[in-house]
Amino acid sequence: MVLTKYKSPEEIKHSLGDAKTIAVFSCAGCANMNMIGGRRGLKFLNEHLEKWGYEVVVARALIGCCSAPVMEHGVNAYIKPKNSRIDALIQISCVAGMKNANYFNPGLRVVQAADPVGVEALLPHGEYYSDHGDNLVAYGLCYNCEHCVLSFTTGICPYAECPSKSLYGFCDHPPKAGSRKCTRDPGRECVWKVIEERGGDLEGLKELKFIHDDDGYERIPLISREPSADFKLKTVGFLGARAVVPFAETVHFIR
Ligand code: SF4
Ligand code: SF4
């Protein structure tokens, strides 16, 4: 899941500039599961906007603001009929939703309510899975460094956990013999020590670095497919912007 967090009230107000009448789109996908979007996030932000003196003219949750058909349907159904009364659109979503909102609303100021802060596993907040207890694996964020090494690190992300962002093994100043402390940040354990003790494949990583550094590195191409017919796109747009939204709250059952 793409992890997003609200920006500060000051930043949102600053981004709104002189706008007074606001439309809000709230993504009922990842942002919903992050507890910032969906219907709850919409209600929460609307209450704040009204307290701050703005008039909320349109407030809608859409499932998957990153999807062009969903955003297009949302804009046609909710923004266009009230366009002349809307000064700015606030987007509660990841960057993909933000880009889509700009793409389908040329000329309208689109303001981001949230920042993307990484990718995380979708873990319930309760005790049900707590016996796994592997916090470095479970709660470490991914920052999309492009060449993932988790196959060799027992699921721990060294890019996120090592202050040197050393991806293929210990940094140039590893802990001294008998120590477990990170030499750059003695307040924490060296994550490469942890990876080593968990059985990470440090030899394999050396080879992997050669593979990643090769200028001729070629990814397996995408699976080619025919573009969807217009009626399929429109159906998806309708479902995501209207029909399925009432069920979006069920995503919270997985937390
Ligand atoms: S190594 Fe870490 S930051 Fe890089 S892609 Fe993998 S999980 Fe993400
Ligand atoms: S001591 Fe370990 S955690 Fe610290 S910077 Fe070096 S490799 Fe990274």
Q: What is the DSSP letter of 65?
A: T
d(CA 152, ligand 1 centre) in Å? 12
CATH code of the domain covering residue 37 = 3.40.50
Q: What's the CA angle centered on 32, arms 237 and 146, to 5 degrees?
A: 85
Shared domain check, 116 and 187: no
Number of domains in the chain: 2
Q: What is the pLDDT of residue 140?
A: 83
d(CA 101, ligand 1 centre) in Å? 28
Shared domain check, 118 and 201: no
List the domain range (segments joined by +) for residue 9.
1-145+231-255
CB 2 within 8 A of CB 119: yes
Residue 19 domain-assigned?
A: yes
Burial of 30 (0-12, 13-18, 19+ CB in 10 A): buried
The number of the ligand 2 atom at minimal distance from the alpha carbon of 185 is: 4
Residue 225 domain-assigned?
A: no
Which ligand number lies closest to the CA of residue 136? 1
Shared domain check, 170 and 134: no
Shared domain check, 140 and 76: yes
Shared domain check, 154 and 47: no
In this prediction the pTM is 0.86
d(CA 198, ligand 1 centre) in Å? 18
Shared domain check, 103 and 50: yes
pLDDT in tens, the chain (255 residues): 899 999 999 999 999 999 999 999 999 999 998 899 999 999 999 999 999 999 999 999 999 999 999 999 999 999 999 999 999 999 999 999 999 999 999 999 999 999 999 998 877 766 666 655 577 887 788 999 999 999 999 999 999 999 999 999 999 999 999 999 999 999 999 999 999 999 999 999 999 999 999 999 999 988 888 888 999 999 989 888 888 888 888 877 777
Shared domain check, 152 and 140: no
Q: What is the pLDDT of residue 122?
A: 77
In DSSP terms, 60 is beta-bridged to 25
Q: What is the pLDDT of residue 125?
A: 67
Residue 72 domain-assigned?
A: yes
The single-letter code of the amino acid at 138 is A
Nearest CA to ligand 1 atom 2: 157
Shared domain check, 241 and 170: no
Shared domain check, 157 and 127: no
Q: What is the pLDDT of residue 135?
A: 78
CB 114 within 8 A of CB 88: no
Shared domain check, 129 and 164: no
Helix, strand counts (H, E) of the chain? 10, 6
Which ligand number lies closest to the CA of residue 192? 2
d(CA 78, ligand 1 centre) in Å? 38
The number of the ligand 2 atom at minimal distance from the alpha carbon of 161 is: 3
Q: What is the pLDDT of residue 181?
A: 95
Tokens of 33: 């599961």
CB 137 within 8 A of CB 154: yes
Find the residues whose C-beta lies inside 6 A of ligand 2.
162-164, 166, 170-171, 173-175, 182-184, 190-192
Strand stretches in the chain, DSSP E:
2-6, 21-27, 55-62, 88-92, 109-112, 114-119
Q: What is the pLDDT of residue 41?
A: 95
Shared domain check, 138 and 153: no
